[in-house]
Amino acid sequence: MSWNDQRVETWVGMLLRIGVLLAAAVVLVGGVLYVMQNKGPRPDYSTFHGEPATFATLRGAAEGIATLEPRSIIMFGLLLLILTPIARVGMCVVGFAFERDKMYVVVSSLVLVILLYSVFFHR
């Protein structure tokens, strides 16, 4: 790995850290609202019944955020978090393209396609 590679990666690493802190901040805001609004008994986590899918869609999240629904805000933060490593792979594609390393443009694009497929289409 050349010195230049390492500089680009350090820069990418910093961006990732910002992404994680941003996601954590959104989750924290949602969390504070959540504990303020849910003072009752804790939800039953002892048997798996699946969370409502409304939180998992962008539209559901957007509607929830507009109405300051705590769980939607938390889920939006989690979505941001899931997107940070994907953004990192995207930046690697660009980095390898700059280095004119065709083989690794293909390799990192393949990883990116698998990730995007898993987040948006896989069932």
- Does residue 43 bind another protein (CB under 8 A)? yes
Q: Calculate the alpha carbon distances from 96 to 7, 10, 93, 104 in Å.
A: 14, 15, 5, 6
Using rule CB under 8 A, residue 80 touches another protein? no
CA gap 89, 43 in Å, rounded: 36
Burial class (CB within 10 angstroms; exposed 0-12, middle 13-18, buried 19+) of 46? exposed
Longest dimension (CA), the chain: 58
CA–CA distance, 72 with 61 (Å, rounded to integer): 5
Candidates 22, 65, 97, 115; binder of another protein (CB under 8 A) is: 115
By CB under 8 A, residue 6 contacts another protein: yes
If binding is defined by CB under 8 A, does position 90 make contact with another protein?
A: no
Rounded to a whole number of angstroms, the minimum distance from the CB of residue 116 to another protein is: 9
Site residues (CB under 8 A) for another protein? Answer: 1, 5-6, 9-10, 12-14, 16-17, 19-21, 23-24, 27-28, 30-31, 34-35, 38-43, 45-53, 55-56, 70-71, 74-75, 78-79, 81-86, 88-89, 92, 101, 103-104, 107-108, 110-111, 114-115, 117-120, 122-123
